[in-house]
Amino acid sequence: GVVIADNVTLGDRVVLHPGVFLGDGVTLGSDVEIHANVSILRRCVIGSRVTIQAGSVIGSDGFGYTRDGDRHMKIAHTGIVQIDDDVEIGACNTIDRGKFDKTWIKTGVKTDNLIHIAHNVTVGENTIIVAQAAVAGSVTIGRNVILAGQAGISGHLNIGDNAIIGPQAGIAKSVAAGDIVSGTPGMPHKLWLKTSSLITRLPDLNRKIKEMEKKLAELESRLGKNGSDDHRHQ
């Protein structure tokens, strides 16, 4: 059930499992293993010693539309996905092609299952992306970065080398090299630890504030009444 379209180039010792689709002009290096039901679409380039786990789609169109009145008109994506050497792509990843140039997964990157990488993204060398993380369009991720599970990166940001993005973090601004960021919105990890420890205490703190407000109002009322009695006595 493997389908190989026109002008495909395969290196040495390539293994294609059942249901694999290679589109027109796809290039695979040597010692590549493509697991069942993977689609690698037109003109995408895969390096050597790459493994792509079952069900992934490489080179789908990016999510790009422009408004025409009340309609959303599709923007053609004419770029590619380039995956360099020694990369492993997990199961059911979706990596969109670039709008004009390429979405680029550099050497040594490892992705877990259920990862989405949008158009024009660059992922630097030896970066790790953990399950269910998503990267919006035109993001640049440096080398040796860790994106923990379910992290979300907004579009057009830069994530510096050796940065760590914590689980379920929502990143809305760029992250400097070496920073550790957690939470939504993303903040320094130590600050997030302090903030998250307060969350479970908020109901109790809210109750205490209401009690203090009530006592303050009663005190102000008594002081106001005493002041009025003193004025009448004078």
The pLDDT value given to residue 108 = 98
The pLDDT value given to residue 5 = 98
The question of whether 72 is a catalytic residue gets the answer no
Q: What's the chain look like in SS3?
A: CCEECCCCEECCCCEECCCCEECCCCEECCCCEECCCCEECCCCEECCCCEECCCCEEEECCCCEEEECCEEEECCCCCEEEECCCCEECCCCEEECCCCCEEEECCCCEECCCCEECCCCEECCCCEECCCCEECCCCEECCCCEECCCCEECCCCEECCCCEECCCCEECCCECCCCEEECCCCEEHHHHHHHHHHHCCHHHHHHHHHHHHHHHHHHHHHHHHHHHHHHHHC
Q: State which residues of the chain have pLDDT below 70.
A: 227-234
The pLDDT value given to residue 180 = 96
The pLDDT value given to residue 188 = 85
**Model pLDDT for residues 135-148, shown as the tens digit of each residue:** 999 999 999 999 99
Q: Which of 119, 156, 189, 231 is catalytic?
A: 119
pTM: 0.85
The pLDDT value given to residue 34 = 98
The pLDDT value given to residue 231 = 57
The pLDDT value given to residue 98 = 98
